[in-house]
Chains A and B, each alone.
Chain A
């Protein structure tokens, strides 16, 4: 039973499977996404993109493009009136290139035309004279001093070095040391709706953008900065969003659309094609992780030395903080007293990498959990018990010497997994196979990830307004991106305001309607905005009580709040409904709206060598997977999946399960099939034909078995959830393949070719360089 903290919530709604507010529209197709919008007099936009992954631009000629029938405007770098750069952390990605291109997706000109066909034709006729430059495609080569430099300061965008204790001594004293190098793929987000939006000027000449992003205020900032106009001149409406998963935190179509709408003074629509999204859009950072892990005879991990090389592509985007999260999670949820992490973020001409669900954590988790499995095997220990032996516990000091403020339920998730049907009956599960040449394996791994921005500033403001009819409009600007956030916000507000959940309406994620609630990112939307709602509720209640006090002539102290009614404690006949209160408040000119802000707790100073380490609270999970490997083809199928997450208080069980299931399925792609193939800067897999994501046929039976805690990190007691489900998926499937075949995978995705090759080589394969 969850203890209630923070506000005195009667939990009529929180913790209940309230149906999603956006479900009907999305299921029936009634919801219109921005890529569906058609507006009279609308123009269509297309970007002329680089034809080379790396080249100098000698000249740009747009005369032919301007003269193309139907073309209304062609804009180049000369039309960028502010900073010709975007990027949330470091704006070094040109809005429109003028001297150099650094990847195939780089933008050179943007065209608006009467029809999409004319816009495409116009973009195709932009003439650019290039001087091709050597392509930097291997991040290890890019780090060498003689590599061509993609940016003025060189190719190493960031080098993080974090050391704790004495790894050398720990390695000398270890009973077992395992060292291996692991590689992960460049996963694409592959949302159903590609990057899209519509921009126009309203009747007062203000810029209005309908664009599915992860924060209207971040989009507003990037447009304001690039075009040199005041933020108030820009209105951003960010929902609905047809999938985001991190990539839509960054500017995509926004600045180009804003430029064209201002220039043409007509509505302009841009929808990236699937191929354009594949070439231009953000990807998950491929990482090369060399990990040397030591343990004593009892299986206690004593040291972890990690070297990470992350390919961030051509521009910074959110790469610097992705690297931090990889560093922070390199030791997983384990107590590791001696740590030495050396991490590099490296520029290449391989597209652009940035935010993607998990944010650097799944990559290092694959390395760590593989090493832990190998250590267990070398010491003859049970693979679940070694994890129980090592995980952090409530009140522990975290791996970098700070106190973990949040709840720590990882041990309990392992206990749950230990009692799960899949683990208890694993031998029986493994004994059945589909055919004689198939083998089955079961593995267990854990995962951890902080939620929020860690030591970086993180702030969320929300508003609540009572309508003239006694309902409430909650203004939250972190958009609903599929995570069921608006339903959760409604539940929290309805409990706080003692009303029906159907009486709470969420204003669209609209910079004119809602204050800056931060981003829908880092598994933090619920925690940010949910806690801000908790702070706004008493302010609204105060307004209601003041009005009720006047109406029923009782001091506020004598009043009590019931279900959509306020009454006298002493005389229940003296009461006033929210409807009558609202009528009075609106009729008398009383305040009807409140705003509250929540500042996310953080440490005063980040860990030496990091930007945002540590987080003060973390999400945890234990995963168990049953896989079957076809030893003739190397094809791997996941048959059963069990996940025990610990993500604090559960606000909506249905949404909770949905988030975990979605993360697992996305993780299947990371583990088994998804990797953007880039050869010499040329992207070979940019659509669903060549880039294979899981379908419903690949989805196993999934059991979600949450451990519920009441996280003391924030008043709400809930943690983030969106990302933790994906963190242990790659590792548990790779370890499952090993359990089935004895073949160890060091590279993800575990494609049939790689698995088949590993099976062939297993006789001679070593489990890393064991030195003891």
Chain B
């Protein structure tokens, strides 16, 4: 029997999301597991829990701000691509800007 050439398309991935600073204070937890497809889904999932954190990610016109640093498996995403597909076991770090002068 020939092996099937059909592959299952993985729609979502189970990822861990680690939150810092205002994100952690507002959402009340520092780490969560999400079933998501893309980096943008992570952001959307967080905003759906508390709308007030939207401004940490997007400006009034819906454009991504540079305020929050994104890391996937300890690699900085600069600038982050929200359409980036995620894989099972990915560790996402979201670090809002924590300094200035």
Interface segment, one of B2-10, B15-23, B33-41: B15-23
B74 interface residue per 8 A CB criterion: yes
Instruction: Name which residue of chain B comes closest to A360, CB basis.
Output: B101
Instruction: Name which residue of chain A comes closest to B101, CB basis.
Output: A359
- A325's partner among B25, B30, B101 (CB-CB below 8 A) is B101
Q: Is the CB of A321 within 8 A of B20?
A: no
Give the contacts of B45-66 with A (CB-CB under 8 A): 55-56, 59-60, 66
Rounded to whole Å, the gap between the CB of A282 and the closest CB of chain B is 12
Q: Is the CB of A224 within 8 A of B18?
A: yes
Given A459-B22, A461-B25, is A231 in contact with B99 using a C-beta cutoff of 8 Å?
no
Given A221-B98, A522-B101, is A456 in contact with B18 using a C-beta cutoff of 8 Å?
no
Q: Is the CB of A457 within 8 A of B56?
A: yes
Most interface-central of A89, A91, A218, A225 (chain B CB within 10 A): A225
B80 interface residue per 8 A CB criterion: no
Instruction: Name which residue of chain B comes closest to A92, CB basis.
Output: B76
**Chain A contact residues, majority secondary structure:** loop
Q: Which residues of B contact A359 (CB under 8 A)?
A: 101
Interface segment, one of A195-203, A434-442, A513-521: A513-521
A708 interface residue per 8 A CB criterion: no
Rounded to whole Å, the gap between the CB of B73 and the closest CB of chain A is 9
A88 interface residue per 8 A CB criterion: yes
Q: Is the CB of A457 within 8 A of B67?
A: yes
Q: Which residues of A contact B74 (CB under 8 A)?
A: 82-83, 225, 228
Using C-beta atoms within 8 Å of the partner chain, give the interface range for chain A. 35 or more
Give the contacts of A468-525 with B (CB-CB under 8 A): 515-516, 518-519, 521-522
Query: Number of residues in B with C-beta < 8 Å to the partner?
Result: 28
Give the contacts of A75-100 with B (CB-CB under 8 A): 82-83, 88-89, 91
Q: Is the CB of A231 within 8 A of B24?
A: yes
Given A457-B22, A516-B24, is A230 in contact with B30 using a C-beta cutoff of 8 Å?
yes
Given A225-B71, A228-B74, A230-B31, is A322 in contact with B101 using a C-beta cutoff of 8 Å?
yes
Given A83-B74, A231-B30, is A88 in contact with B99 using a C-beta cutoff of 8 Å?
yes
Taken together as a complex, chains A and B put the C-alpha atoms of A230 and B56 apart, in Å, by: 22
- A88's partner among B24, B55, B71, B98 (CB-CB below 8 A) is B98
Instruction: Name which residue of chain A comes closest to B30, CB basis.
Output: A231
Q: Which residues of B contact A322 (CB under 8 A)?
A: 101
Q: Is the CB of A519 within 8 A of B30?
A: no
Taken together as a complex, chains A and B put the C-alpha atoms of A521 and B95 apart, in Å, by: 18
Q: Mark B57-101, 1 if CB is under 8 A from A, else 0.
A: 001100000110001001110000000000000010101111111
Most interface-central of A89, A457, A516 (chain B CB within 10 A): A457
A346 interface residue per 8 A CB criterion: no
Q: Is the CB of A519 within 8 A of B18?
A: no
Rounded to whole Å, the gap between the CB of A650 and the closest CB of chain B is 23
Q: Which residues of B contact A215 (CB under 8 A)?
A: 98
Q: Is the CB of A91 within 8 A of B76?
A: yes
Rounded to whole Å, the gap between the CB of B5 and the closest CB of chain A is 38
Rounded to whole Å, the gap between the CB of B90 and the closest CB of chain A is 13
Q: Which residues of B contact A399 (CB under 8 A)?
A: none
Q: Is the CB of A521 within 8 A of B18?
A: no
Q: Which residues of B contact A218 (CB under 8 A)?
A: 98-99
Chain B residues at the A interface, C-beta cutoff of 8 Å? 18, 20-22, 24-26, 30-31, 55-56, 59-60, 66-67, 71, 74-76, 91, 93, 95-101
Please list 10 pairs of residues, one from A and one from B, whose beta carbons are closer than 8 Å in the complex, sorted by A's number: A83-B71, A215-B98, A217-B98, A225-B93, A232-B31, A318-B101, A453-B97, A453-B101, A516-B24, A521-B99
Q: Can you add 6 more A-B contacts, CB < 8 Å, to A359-B101, A457-B96, A515-B25? A: A217-B20, A221-B95, A459-B25, A522-B101, A604-B60, A605-B59
